[in-house]
């Protein structure tokens, strides 16, 4: 069998046979999808460099002309720049000469982007402006007479922004960012209401395939079960008013909960009494970490938003952050957290947002459990040869489960789209 561009064939390295997706379709995710190194390579071109918009940073991270930020889209190094006219550009950070990294610092400021190897330099828009010794010396060496500078710039990606978030795509075909986000853009607009201010960063190495983490913020079912702090201290419980919103194509999702809206019900009490995460005996000596000011005024204490394939925006109490998922091989991923507030926050609000990083930052008492679960999953299915996730909470279709948080609807939709992108 041959592998055509339209169809991916995943071969088992153990049996030498083509792998087949389970008959149940998107209600199953075979464990080999998280462990197959060949599939990982295909994901890079079909998804990350395919028809999707990838988050690359915040506009405020490159505030002035000449500022740049380096990052990744999948395995590909990318540099986000702000040109002299204020426009934003996303370029593949790979020299057009012999492939060296052009920008090496996380952030910088420059008039030109100059490669350290042979000093080819590029404009902030990515065009080649100068190649060292291109005319040769004393009549010898130099580049051929037909060398055309316009053909040797950095690879340029499409860039679009929404509410201060910057996304880029390799695809010429994919629709505009707004239309690609669909209804889920509402969740971005709800949170990002004014100019932002970065408060800090951390990057967390997760020893698991990127898809274990991508599924996690789409998984509203686990939130009040795995996370002791949510249930026990009432930040988010299944008994509270909540909902889930997907875009039409099911690529993106956000879910939300309103604290303090508990509705008594016998079936909740029956389950909650068995939950490790709901323990009425626990109290905090210093409850300041749980303080919450309803700054948006709609009562939503938690909103977690996920766009395919690698972006999360969270508002959890007053903590605001983006999380960018960068795959680092088939069984490792980096999660880059950018904590932020608004430019007009007073010191008290900034302190509150930073305090809550201890709850929902990468090492926070809630979020630390997400990476831990991803790593435990990877350990459990590392052989990759048999078995599959069972994804039927809320029903078996892309619509079933509706807007209920007690549903794996958003995960079914992810696998549906994944199979489409991958031709599996």
Q: How far apart are CA 174 and CA 101, in angstroms?
A: 27
Q: List Cβ neighbours of 60 (8 Å cut-off, separation of 6 or more).
A: 164, 195, 196, 197, 198, 340, 343
Footprint (CB under 6 A) of ligand FES, residues 318-347: none
* Least distance CB 93 / ligand FES (angstroms): 11
Tell whether residue 79 is a contact of ligand FES (CB under 6 A). no
With CB under 5 A, what is the number of residues at the site for Fe ion? 1
From residue 201, give the alpha-carbon distance in Å to each of 198, 273, 322, 338, 414. 8, 37, 10, 5, 28
Contact criterion met (CB below 8 Å) for 18 and 11: yes
Choices 92-100, 261-269, 364-372, 380-388 (CB under 6 A): range interacting with ligand FES: 92-100
Choices 25-33, 113-121, 301-309, 323-331 (CB under 6 A): range interacting with ligand FES: 113-121
120 binds, among ligand FES, Fe ion, none (CB under 5 to 8 A by kind): ligand FES
* Least distance CB 90 / ligand FES (angstroms): 19
Nearest C-alpha neighbor of 238 from the set 393, 373, 374, 362: 393
Tell whether residue 112 is a contact of ligand FES (CB under 6 A). no
Q: How many residues does the chain have?
A: 424
What is the rounded (10 degree) CA torsion for 230, 233, 237, 243?
A: -70
Which runs of consecutive H residues, i.e. helices, occur in 239-292? 266-272
370 binds, among ligand FES, Fe ion, none (CB under 5 to 8 A by kind): Fe ion
CA angle 218, 323, 198 (to 5 degrees): 140
Q: Smaller CB distance to Fe ion: residue 56 or 302?
A: 302
Footprint (CB under 5 A) of Fe ion, residues 356-395: 370
Tell whether residue 396 is a contact of ligand FES (CB under 6 A). no
Q: Smaller CB distance to ligand FES: residue 47 or 131?
A: 131
Cross-sheet strand order for the sheet of 128-130: 113-114, 121-122, 128-130
Say whether 415 sits in a helix, a strand or coil: helix
Q: Which of 7, 104, 112, 118 binds ligand FES (CB under 6 A)?
A: 118
- Contacts with Fe ion by CB under 5 A lie at 370
- Contacts with ligand FES by CB under 6 A lie at 95, 97-98, 100, 115, 117-118, 120
């Amino acid at each position: 069998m041959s592998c055509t561009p339209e169809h991916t064939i995943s071969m088992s390295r153990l049996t030498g046979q083509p792998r087949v997706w389970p008959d149940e379709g998107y209600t199953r995710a075979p464990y080999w999808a998280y462990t197959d190194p060949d599939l990982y390579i295909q994901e890079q071109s079909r998804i990350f460099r395919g028809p999707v918009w990838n988050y690359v940073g915040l506009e405020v991270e490159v505030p002035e002309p000449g500022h740049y930020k380096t990052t990744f889209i999948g395995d590909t190094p990318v540099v986000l720049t702000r040109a002299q006219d204020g426009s934003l550009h996303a370029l593949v950070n790979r020299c057009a000469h012999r492939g060296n990294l052009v920008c090496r610092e996380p952030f910088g400021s420059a008039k030109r982007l100059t490669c350290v190897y042979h000093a080819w330099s590029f404009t902030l828009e990515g065009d080649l402006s100068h190649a060292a010794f291109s005319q040769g010396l004393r009549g010898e060496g130099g580049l051929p007479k037909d060398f055309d500078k316009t053909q040797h710039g950095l690879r340029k990606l499409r860039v679009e922004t929404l509410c201060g978030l910057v996304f880029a795509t390799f695809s010429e075909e994919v629709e505009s960012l707004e239309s690609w986000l669909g209804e889920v853009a509402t969740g971005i607009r709800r949170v990002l209401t004014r100019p932002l201010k970065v408060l800090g960063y951390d990057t967390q190495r997760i020893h698991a395939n990127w898809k274990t983490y991508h599924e996690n913020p789409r998984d509203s079912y686990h939130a009040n079960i795995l996370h002791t702090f949510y249930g026990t201290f009432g930040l988010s419980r299944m008994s509270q008013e909540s909902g889930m919103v997907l875009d039409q194509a099911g690529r993106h999702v956000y879910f939300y909960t309103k604290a303090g809206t508990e509705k008594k019900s016998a079936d909740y009490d029956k389950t909650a009494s068995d939950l490790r995460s709901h323990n009425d005996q626990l109290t905090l000596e210093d409850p300041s970490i749980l303080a919450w000011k309803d700054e948006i005024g709609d009562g939503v204490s938690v909103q977690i938003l996920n766009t395919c394939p690698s972006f999360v925006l969270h508002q959890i109490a007053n903590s605001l952050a983006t999380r960018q998922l960068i795959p680092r091989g088939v069984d490792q991923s980096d999660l880059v957290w950018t904590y932020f507030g608004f430019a007009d926050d007073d010191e008290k609000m900034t302190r509150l947002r930073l305090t809550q990083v201890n709850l929902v930052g990468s090492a926070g008492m809630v979020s630390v459990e997400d990476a831990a679960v991803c790593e435990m999953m990877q350990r459990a299915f590392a052989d990759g040869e048999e078995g599959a996730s069972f994804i039927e909470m809320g029903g078996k279709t892309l619509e079933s489960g509706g807007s209920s948080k007690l549903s794996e609807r958003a995960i079914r939709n992810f696998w549906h789209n994944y199979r489409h992108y991958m031709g599996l």
